[in-house]
Chains A and B, each alone.
Chain A
Amino acid sequence: MAIYMINRILLAIPMLLVVSFLTFILINLSPLDPAEVVLQAQGVPVITSELLAQTRQELGMDKPFLMQYVDWIIACLQFDFGHSYVTGQPVWSLLAPAFVNTLKLTVISSFVIIILSVLLGVLCALNEGKLLDQSLRGISFFLTSMPSYWLAALMVWYFSVKLDLLPTSGMGSLQHYILPVIIITVSYSGIYFRVVRSSMLNNLHQDYVLYSRACGLPERRIILHIVRNSLQVSVSVFCMAVPIILGSTVVIENVFAWPGLGSLSVRAILGRDFPIIQAYVLILAAAFVLFNALSDIINAWMNPKLRNDL
Chain B
Amino acid sequence: MTVKKYMSPVIFLLMLALLTACSDNTEGGGEAQDDNSTAATKEIIYATAKDINDMNPHLYAGSMPAQGKVFESLVENTEEGIKPLLAESWDISEDGKVYTFTLREDVEFQDGEPFNAEAVKKNLDAVQNNADTHSWIKLSTKLESTNVLDDHTVELVLTEPYYPALVELSMTRPYVFLSPNDFMDGETKSGVEGYHGTGPYKLAEHKTDEYAVFEANENYWGGAPAIKKITSKVLPAGETTFLALQKGEVNFAFTDDRGADSLESESMNQLVEEGEYQLVRSEPMNTKMIVANSSRTENAVSETEVREAIWHSIDRETISRDIFDGTETPAETLFSSNIQYADVELKKREYSLEKAKEILDQAGWKEQQSGAVRTKNGNELAMQLFYDNASSSQKTQAEFIQYSLQEIGIQLEIIGEESTSIANRRATGEYDLLFNQTWGLAYDPQSTIAAFTSDASYLHTTSGIEQADELYKKIDEVMVTTDENKREDLYADILTTVHNEAVFIPITNGSVTVVAPDNLNGISFKQTQFELPFEQMNFKD
Q: A40-B420, A46-B454 are in contact. Are A160 and B132 (CB under 8 A)?
A: no
Task: Please determine whether B210 and A175 come into contact, CB atoms closer than 8 angstroms.
Answer: no
Contact residues in B for A57 (Cβ distance below 8 Å): none
Chain A residues bordering chain B, tally (CB within 8 A): 55
Give chain B nearest CB distance to A265 CB in angstroms: 12
Range class of the B interface residue count: 35 or more
Binds B, one of A6-14, A84-92, A287-295: A84-92
Specify which of A51, A97, A156, A165 is in contact with B29 (CB 8 Å cutoff). A165
Contact residues in A for B246 (Cβ distance below 8 Å): 161
B4-46 Cβ-contact flags toward A at 8 Å (1 or 0): 1001100100110010011011101101110010000000000
Task: Please determine whether A174 and B25 come into contact, CB atoms closer than 8 angstroms.
Answer: yes
Task: Please determine whether B243 and A44 come into contact, CB atoms closer than 8 angstroms.
Answer: no
CA distance A178 to B23 in the complex (A): 11
Binds A, one of B53-61, B391-399, B518-526: B53-61
Give chain B nearest CB distance to A117 CB in angstroms: 12
Q: A43 at interface (Cβ–Cβ under 8 A)?
A: yes
CA distance A87 to B192 in the complex (A): 13
Give chain B nearest CB distance to A49 CB in angstroms: 8
Q: A94 at interface (Cβ–Cβ under 8 A)?
A: yes
Contact residues in B for A170 (Cβ distance below 8 Å): 210, 233, 235, 249
Q: B467 at interface (Cβ–Cβ under 8 A)?
A: no
Contact residues in A for B4 (Cβ distance below 8 Å): 224, 228
Give chain B nearest CB distance to A54 CB in angstroms: 6
Contact residues in B for A164 (Cβ distance below 8 Å): 29, 32-33, 36, 247
Task: Please determine whether B32 and A165 come into contact, CB atoms closer than 8 angstroms.
Answer: yes
Give chain A nearest CB distance to B379 CB in angstroms: 29
CA distance A51 to B209 in the complex (A): 29
> Which residue of chain A is the closest to B244 with respect to CB atoms?
A168
Q: A40-B420, A42-B59, A45-B60 are in contact. Are A255 and B240 (CB under 8 A)?
A: yes
Q: B338 at interface (Cβ–Cβ under 8 A)?
A: no
Task: Please determine whether A254 and B240 come into contact, CB atoms closer than 8 angstroms.
Answer: yes
Binds B, one of A135-143, A237-245, A256-264: A256-264
Q: A48-B135, A119-B11 are in contact. Are A94 and B60 (CB under 8 A)?
A: no
Q: B536 at interface (Cβ–Cβ under 8 A)?
A: no
Q: B92 at interface (Cβ–Cβ under 8 A)?
A: no
Q: B421 at interface (Cβ–Cβ under 8 A)?
A: yes
CA distance A89 to B454 in the complex (A): 31
Q: A272 at interface (Cβ–Cβ under 8 A)?
A: yes
Specify which of A54, A88, A168, A178 is in contact with B243 (CB 8 Å cutoff). A168
Q: A45-B60, A175-B28, A254-B240 are in contact. Are A115 and B14 (CB under 8 A)?
A: yes
Task: Please determine whether A47 and B456 come into contact, CB atoms closer than 8 angstroms.
Answer: yes
Q: B363 at interface (Cβ–Cβ under 8 A)?
A: no
Contact residues in A for B29 (Cβ distance below 8 Å): 164-166, 175
CA distance A254 to B60 in the complex (A): 25
Give chain A nearest CB distance to B466 CB in angstroms: 26
Task: Please determine whether A43 and B60 come into contact, CB atoms closer than 8 angstroms.
Answer: yes
Q: A270 at interface (Cβ–Cβ under 8 A)?
A: yes
> Which residue of chain A is the closest to B3 with respect to CB atoms?
A228
Task: Please determine whether B60 and A255 come into contact, CB atoms closer than 8 angstroms.
Answer: no
CA distance A173 to B4 in the complex (A): 35
Contact residues in B for A88 (Cβ distance below 8 Å): 54, 59, 61, 191
B59-81 Cβ-contact flags toward A at 8 Å (1 or 0): 11100000000000000000000
Instruction: Jot down 16 A-B pairs with beta carbons below 8 A, ordered by A.
Output: A32-B424, A48-B132, A87-B53, A88-B191, A98-B209, A115-B11, A153-B243, A156-B240, A168-B240, A169-B249, A175-B25, A224-B4, A227-B7, A257-B233, A259-B209, A270-B390
Given A44-B133, A160-B32, A175-B32, 17 further pairs, Cβ under 8 A:
A36-B420, A42-B61, A46-B136, A86-B61, A156-B240, A160-B247, A161-B243, A165-B26, A166-B32, A174-B25, A175-B28, A178-B22, A224-B8, A228-B4, A256-B240, A257-B234, A263-B236
- A residues contacting B by CB (< 8 A) are 31-32, 36-37, 40, 42-48, 50-51, 54, 86-89, 94, 97-98, 112, 115, 118-119, 153, 156-157, 160-161, 164-171, 173-175, 178, 224, 227-228, 254-257, 259, 263-264, 270, 272
